[in-house]
Every structure is written in C-alpha cells, then in structure tokens.
Structure 1
Amino acid sequence: MKIYKATVLVLVLSFLVVGCQSPLPDPVDPDTEITLEIWETYGEEERKVFLEIVDKFEKKHPNITIEAKNIKRGQKWGELQKGLATGDLPDIAKVDMEYVPTLAEARAIINLNYLGIDEEGDKYLKSAFESNRYQGRIYGVPKRVDTSVLIYNKSLFDKADLSYPLSSWDYEDFIEASLALTDSDVYGFAMSSRLEGVLPILLSHGASLTDEKSKEFTLNTEKAIEGLSLITSLHKEHATMEGAWLSDVTSSREGFIQQQYAMIIDCTDSLSRYEDEDLDFGVSTIPAGTSGAISSIKGNSMVILEDSSYPHEAYKFIKFLTSEEIQVFWAEKLGQIPVNSKAVSTINTDDNPILEVMLKQAEQTVPRPAILGYSRMEELVSREIKAALKGDKSPSKAIQDASDRVNEELFTE
C-alpha cells in the first residue's frame, strides 16, 4: 500500500515517536494501588451505565481506580492524534474500528495476542472479534456490536394496509412493499449514496470488499454489480426511492423522521434518535439476497495504548467489560447488542422486540475489513455509487472504476 500513504504515512511517522513496541511491563502486585485512565465518548445515558460498570470493577479490584475521561464524539480522533504527538495518552481508549489498522501500523496500540486474547476469542461474536484483526493480530475488542438493520414506519405501513417486514423477506418482498408504500407524499424507501448505507445490500448479494489471500480490493464482481443494479432500479425503474443522496433532497434519516420515507437502512446505534422523536417504528433484518440477509460490523473498539504502564490491568478491565455478566447488564439496560456470545442467549428480550431482531441480525454479519485508509476507500467507492444512482455511470462501470481507484491508491505495492 504505497500511494495513499502520502496521508497515512504522515500519521504513522508521527505515531512512531510514541510507539516503539517495547516489552510489556509485568503485572502489578494485587496490593499495589494503581490508576487506569480511559478515554470514552459515551452519551449521557450510556455513560451512566458505563460508570456503574466501572464501580463494579473497582469493588472487585480494590487496588485499581478507573478515571474515565469523556470526550465529545467529534473530537475523539483529534484528541488521540494530539495525545500521540505529545505522549499524553490514556491506558485505554474507545476508538472507531476504522482507525485500528492505522494505530496498529503505527505501533501505537498493543497487540492483544501478547495478553492472551486468542484464548478468549471464542467468547465473542466472531465477526465483531475479527473486525479488530490486522495482519493476523488482534488489536482491539468491541464493547458492543453495531450493525445495519431495516427500519420501517409502522404508521405508514398501516395506512397502506401492509403487513410489517418479516425476517423472511427477500428483495422481491421489499420491492413489492416499496411500490405499495410510494404515493404523492411518501417514498417507500430512501438511502444515502455512502458505502455504509449501500453495503448491506451488496453483501447480501455476495459482494465482498477484500480478499485476505490476494490482498486486493475485491468489489469488482458480478455479485456487487447485481446488488448495485437493484439499488439503482429502486430509483430509476420503480421510482420508490427519492434521491436522498442529493444536496437539495431530504436525507434518509431526516426524511424518515418527517415520515416522508417509509423504510430506511440504518445502523443500530442510530435507533435512539428515532425513539427520541417518538416515532412509531419497527426494525427487521436486512432483506435476503442471494447470499442471505447479510450486514456488516460497525462501531467502536477498546484498545490499549502502547505507552500504558499497566497493560495487564487494562486488559483485565476490558475482559470484565466484555464478560457475560456485564454484557447482559449493558444490553438489558440500553437495548444494545452484546459482543459476548454467551450473553446473547442469556438476555431477556420479552419486553424488547427490537433488541430481539438486532440479535438475529448480529448473527448474520461479516467482519469489517481491516483496510489502512478505510475512510478514503469509503470516499472513493461512495463517489462511484453516487454516479450510478444519478445515472452518470452504469452499475458495472461504477463498480469497476471504484475497484480500480481503491486498488491503485490503497493496495498498490
């Protein structure tokens, strides 16, 4: 990967001032009092639950004090970059998964294999666990699972006298419902042209982004073209999807809130915004394509910084945070998908049918590919998807051009 490193390399070189892969310090004596600093970005409700978990951990490990520093979501990468440049870093940081490869490449975070993470691997949802693997090593652990689901407006379905989406839906069912829901005031479906929104449909048709063996960007396949062709047909042929990717058209999220769009595909961590709007909505799994109802892993991971004086104790906290007991506690309090596999079967979803659907979708996910420069890849692919949606390129041409650009910039040796 040489071409795109014009940007990434600057980050990597600056991190190397900090990250030098020195031997890990030994575990501290249980009687030695220490403080672990964690940088997190939780909102008010999540942070309250997180601090309850911190309290539980401190009671179990009285020699360890946790100092949790809350950083605004939009500032976390900037704060981390600044800390890497100055050496003012926490022991643990909550980071976007897309940055894990960059931090690992820079040797700024600890290879968790040194701490025994592979022995714990079967305790986690495989796709979420593998999303943190870079060059064969695990560098982070998600504190929960985020993925994409189909979200629908119950009131608009009732008005159209339609049954709500089922987990057995395929794309024929989806298109049929979209047609029935579309009228002068409502579009059956809306989505952005960002890869994040389009990816579940591509994956469900058998597309993939990378091939671990060939180290290439592998989107340019008939399966990906089939998926993108379906998406463009919703707009051009069936007229059930407004151009929510255009600057002068209401975005998919805002349009769903305003009840202009009956269905959207969105991430599970966005559901709270629709709850806050007091919308009567439901959630279903992604419609099944030729490869099933496949979605992708998203979200954040907990990483241990290379400069931590207490990596063993930091890892002890991460294991506690992702243990079955704590994951059940977290999921039932916040309605979020646990990363711990055993917790999935333990959670009581009787009073939370949305969480039940989310758990089912989590079982049908693929790992987020560890691409150095993921955001640039997403930018390049999204640009071509938008061209296809606007009719400027055919789906096959858009997929080919996206693949060529990504391979040239990110995968060329």
Structure 2
Amino acid sequence: MTDTAYSDPNVTPPLAQAVPLGFQHVLAMFASNVTPSIIVAGAAGLAFGGPEQIYLIQMAMLFAGIATLFQTVGIGPIGARLPIMQGTSFAFVGVLAGIAATMGLSVALTACIIGGVIHFLLGAVIKNIRFLFPPLVTGLVILAIGLYLIPVAIKYAAGGAASFQMEAESFGSLMHWSVALTVIVVSLILKFFTKGALSNAAILIGLLAGYALAYALGMVNFGAVSGASWITPIKPLPYGFEFNLGAVIAVTIVSIVSAIETVGDASATAKAGAGRDATDEEIAGATYADGLGTAVAGVFGGLPNTSFSQNVGIVGMTGIMSRHVVTIGGIILIVCGLMPKIGAVIASMPLPVLGGGVIVMFGMVASAGLNMLSEVQMSRRNMVIIAVSLAFGLGLNLVPTAVQYLPGTLKVLATSAVAPTALMAVVLNLVLPHED
C-alpha cells in the first residue's frame, strides 16, 4: 500500500531519506542512460575512449539531469511535476546509429534538435492522437527496436570494434565472452536474488564486475582518464547544423512513439505512487518536457531523452511519490555530466563489458514490446498486422539492397527498421476491419 504521507508529489521526505532515494533512482538508470551515446559514437567512427566520445557521454548525463528537472520542477506548462526520471532513450539508437554511420553526427544531432521541437509541440495535441498508437502499434515498434539492436549487442560482447568492424584474431574469443557473461550472470543474480538498491542497480553492478575482470585480464586502458580534466564547458552545436529530410522524418517517427511511451509512464507513475490516473495537464506537461529536453540536448551534442520506466518501478516499490526525490537524482546527474573524469572512466570500459550489459538491456527493450503486445487480443487481424509490419520493418533493414533504387531520403526511412514498422502498423490498424 502507498504511504499516504508521501503520495503527494509535492511532499519531501527528510533529507536523510530523500538523498539515498535520489541516488537509488540514478543507480537504476545510469547504465541505460550512457550506453546509447557510446553506441552512436561508435557508429559515427569516433575513437573509442577518445575525447569526442567522452564528451557525448558527459552530455548524456548532463542533459538527462536537466531534462529530469524540466519534468519534476517544471516551467509553466512544461513538466508533469511528477517523480519521472528522464534519460537517453534507447528507442532512437538504431535510427541515430544508422544516420551517424552514413551521414555523420552533424545530421544526426540536427535531426534530434528538430525532432525535439516537434516532440515538444505534440504536448498540445497528444491526447487527440493517442488513438493512432494503441498497444498494438506501440508494442510492435518497441519490439522492432529491440530486435534490431540485439545483433549490435552480440557484436560488442564478442569484441567487435566500435565501428562494428570485427577484429579477425580476437573477435569471439573466450576472453571477450568470459567478460560479457560475467556482466550478464552478476546482473541476473542481483536482479532476482536481492532486493532494494542492489536489485535496482543490478546492471550497473554487473558492468562494474565485468570491468574488474577486464582490468585483471589487461583489457582496460586508463590513459584517457588521466588526461581528462575535472570540469569542462559545454559547446553549442559541436558538430555543426546539417539538415536532412529523411533523418528528420525518421527521428520524428520515433519521437511520436517515445511521446506515447512517456504518456504511459506518467500514467503508471500516478497510479503507482498515488493510486490515481494522470491528469491531462500532467500528460501534456510530461510530453512538453520530453521534447524540450531532447531539443536542448541536441544543441549541445546530447541524444534524445525520454522517461525511464524502471524508475516508475522504484516509485511503486517505495511508495514515495515525491518529485523532489527525483529532482535530487537529476542534480546528481548534472554534477556527473560536468566532470569529464567520470565520462573518461565510462569510456574506458572495454567493448565486451558493454556488450554484456546491452545484451540484457536490448533484450529488455524487446521484452517491453512483447509486454505491450500481451495486452492485445491475438485475433487473426492483429496477428496479420504484427506479421506484415515486422516482416517489412526488419526485412528491409536486413536486406537494404532490396530498396537500393529508392531516393536517398526514402531509402534511409525504408531501411531504418523503425519507420516501416510504425508506418505499416498504423496504416493497417486504421484500414483493416475489426473482427466480430
């Protein structure tokens, strides 16, 4: 049962309780928050552990914290003013990695800025377009994202280089897999055989265990850590501003799905912490904060932000609805984001360590999609929508030469996995008649 004393989001527990709870929120999302930046940086060809990659990791922490404050503290209509933790979204990883690899980070980050503005504007109409994205459509898109990312996780675990080029001699070696499996085993043990902070930080602690093993095996290089400064200024448009219509459309499509997911998280938070439904103002405010956080992050080299569902679980588990607890977590992230030393330590993590973590994380993305689809009645109509949407989305991504004669923008969209899955699911759901 929820403690009624803390079911009001405006009530703050004593600091001796609030600060540890804020750390707990950070521990639960920390690994998932920094991982997308590492992957997109690798796809863009940035040096693994280099200053540019370290900067992107810093921005992931900094703007996750800032976006969290947009959500919990709010500015006018912006922000749900609920205990919603923001972080870098996995949903965008596939699209942005593809854009970064083919067109560069300038195009990818420009698309994030414009997509964030469009995402922000959705706050005014989100309640009117929710019918386009029922669990059937949203679950399908999230499942497609997870399935698309799983091969990336396997490549990392086996020791694939950041640019996804495999090193013939060491790729798939027992040393690499022993590190990756250590991360997985430790994470699973802590998640299912412990409770509280240990369980919530299971993946983070698993990464630390894999990191320790990698260090013992001589796989860790701390050269970048010693050379990193303690504090550094942030840079606007670090890669310039370069517009590409296909990239913007692809990011915008994922932004719409992310907005619908945030609506679900806002509703789940209100239900878990206060036993009520989220108001229209809270849902709109959560969407505004999502979009603003994404647009501002993109200006300084950060990737899109979204609400983190695992933190909703902490609210339900503790029964503490206080938004000020999550504000403390946001401030912790901001402090970490302003310290390149912390980014350098994360960037020194060997690929197999990261691979072990993202096998679990990407698998959980796919599982989240399946969980949404479990709410859907598996009629012949809905099964056909699932089959055709996934076949097109994943099929064109796996065989990009099948659409090699499409113009550049359409080819980017067709092979992104997310865009064709979403488009096909929305259209078929609107067109195909419901069965009696």
Structure 2 length normalisation: TM-score?
A: 0.28
Give me the TM-score of the superposition, normalised by structure 1: 0.29
